[in-house]
Amino acid sequence: MNKILNVSPSPHQQSPETTRRLMYGVVAALIPALAASIYYFGMGAIIVTLTSVLSCVAVEYLIQKFILKVKPSVSDGSAIVTGLLLAFNVPSNLPVYIVIIGAVIAIGMAKMTFGGLGNNPFNPALVGRVFLLISFPVQMTSWPVPSGFKTGYLDAVTGATPLGILSEGVKNGEAVSALMDKIPTHMQLFYGYMGGSMGEVAAAALILGGLYLIWRKIITWHIPVSILVTVALFTGILWLVDPTKYADPVFHLLTGGIMLGAIFMATDYVTSPMTHKGMIIYGIGIGVITVLIRTWGAYPEGVSFAILIMNAFVPLLNMYIKPKRFGKEVKNG
C-alpha cells in the first residue's frame, strides 16, 4: 500500500520561532518593568494592568468572533502585549472604565479597523494612550507618588513628575539647577523612584528587558540606540549651551517615557521600518521630535506623539530605503 505523502514547495523546514513565541518573549521582557511598577505603585498597578490586558484580549476576541466572523486569533499573544503596554503608559490610579475605553480604542480602532494584526499603521497602545490623554486630561495627568502598596488605587496620593516639575519650573523662569533639587537623584531615577506612568519609571528594569529582547533576537539595537543617542546628543547640546535653562542628557534619558518608548513602543514590528537604515532614521526622528516637544512644546513629555508622528513616515521609509542589493546592476549593452 503506497503511503500518502505530504507534498509542498521548498523549503521543507521552518524555524522554531513563531509569532506567538515572539509576542510572549516581549511579555517576558516586560516582567521586570511590571515587577517594578507593582513595587512602586502597589494595588493600582495590579488592577490597571489586569483590566488593560483582559479588556484588550476581550475586545479583540469579540470583534473577531461577532463582527468580522473569523476565527479569533487572541492566542497569538499580540493583544496581551498591547494590553500590557497600554497599562504601562497610564497612571496607576486610572479608573477601570477609562482603562477599558483605552483598550477599545487601542484594539478596536487602532488595530482591528485596519485589518487586524500586521495592518495597522499606528502603534495601538500609543493611540489608546493619546486618545485617553486628550479625552481625560485630568485623570491621565495625575500621577501617584510611588510608595509601594501604601500607594493605594483610586485614593493614591498624586504629585508632579520630574518632567512636569522641569517644564513648569522653566516656564516660570526658575533655574534648572534649583529645580533639580526638587527632583530625585539620577540614581533614584534610574531605579524608578519617581512619579509617572506605571511602566515608564524604572529605567533599570526596562533596560534589563531590552537586553533580553536583543539576546532573544526579538529586536535589534538600531531603534533603541538611535532614539536614545539622538535624545542624549540633542539635549546634551542644549545643556552645554545653557545649563540654566536645559536639563542634562542623563536626566532626559531617565525620565518620562523615553526608555519605555525606545525599547518597547518604537520597536513594535508592525509600525516600525523593515530595514536597518530605515530604523535609524526613524529613531533619529523620534528623538528629535521628543526633545522638541519636551523643550518647546506645550506638553512636558513628547515620546508618544513623536512615535506616532514617525509611524506615519514608516511607509515612506519602507518604500524608499531598500536594503543593499547583492551585485551591481548589469547594464544591458
Partner 1 sequence: MSSGILLTIIMLSALGLIAAVVLYFIAQKFKVVEDPRIDTVNEALPGANCGGCGFTGCRAFAEVLVKSESFEGLNCPVGGADTMARVADILGRQPVAVEPKVAVVRCNGTPENAARTSYYDGAVSCRVAHALYGGTTGCQYGCLGCGDCVESCKFDAMYMDPLTELPVIIDDKCVACGACVKACPRNIIELRKRNKKDRKIYVSCVNKDKGGPARKACRVACIGCGKCVKICPYDAITMVDNLAFIDSYKCKLCRKCVAECPTGSILEINFPVKEAKPAEPAVADN
Partner 2 sequence: MFKTFPKGGIHPPENKLTADKPIVALPLPAQVTVPVSQHIGAPAIPLVEKGAEVKAGQLIAQSKGFVSANIHSPVSGKVSKTEPSVDSTGYKQLAVVIDVEGDEWVDTIDRSPALKREITMTREQIIERCQQCGLVGMGGATFPTHIKLTVPAGKKCDLVIINGVECEPYLTSDHRLMLEKGAEVLTGASIIMKALGVERVVVGIEANKPDAISHLTDLAKDFPEITIQPLQVKYPQGGEKQLIKACTGREVPSGGLPVDVGVVVQNVGTAFAVYEAVQKNKPLIERVVTVTGRSVTNPGNFLVRIGTPVTALIEAAGGMPDDTGKVVNGGPMMGKALALTDVPVTKGTSGIILFPEEASRRAEVLPCIRCGKCSSACAMGLEPWLISVLSEKGLFERAEKEKITDCMECGACAYTCPAKRPLLDYIRLGKSTVIRMARERVTK
Nearer to partner 1, 11 or 16 (CB): 11
CA 7 to chain centre: 43
24 binds partner 2 (CB under 8 A): no
Q: How far is the CB of 166 from partner 2 (least distance, A)?
A: 36
Q: Which residue has cell 463582527?
A: 67
How many residues contact partner 2, by CB under 8 A? 41
Question: Cβ(120)–Cβ(270) under 8 Å?
Answer: yes
Residue 77: name the closest of 222, 212, 269, 221 by CA. 269
73 binds partner 2 (CB under 8 A): yes
61 binds partner 2 (CB under 8 A): no
The DSSP secondary-structure symbol of 269 reads T
- Each residue 116-155 as x (binds partner 2 by CB under 8 A) or -, in order, gives xxxx------------------------------------
65 binds partner 2 (CB under 8 A): no
Q: How far is the CB of 44 from partner 2 (least distance, A)?
A: 32
Residues of the shown chain interacting with partner 1 in the complex, contacts defined by CB under 8 A: 2, 4-9
CA distances from 230 to 240, 258, 275 (A): 15, 11, 19
Q: Sign of dihedral through CA atoms 290, 291, 296, 301?
A: positive
Contacts of range 4-13, beta carbons closer than 8 Å, 24 or more positions apart: none
Q: How far is the CB of 288 from partner 2 (least distance, A)?
A: 23
Nearer to partner 1, 9 or 333 (CB): 9
Residue 275 contact partner, candidates partner 2, partner 1, none, CB within 5 to 8 A by sort of partner: partner 2
CA distances from 10 to 14, 23, 71, 81, 152 (A): 10, 27, 28, 33, 57
Binding residues for partner 2, rule: CB under 8 A, are 2-3, 5-15, 17-19, 21-22, 73, 76, 78, 116-119, 269-270, 272-275, 322-330, 332
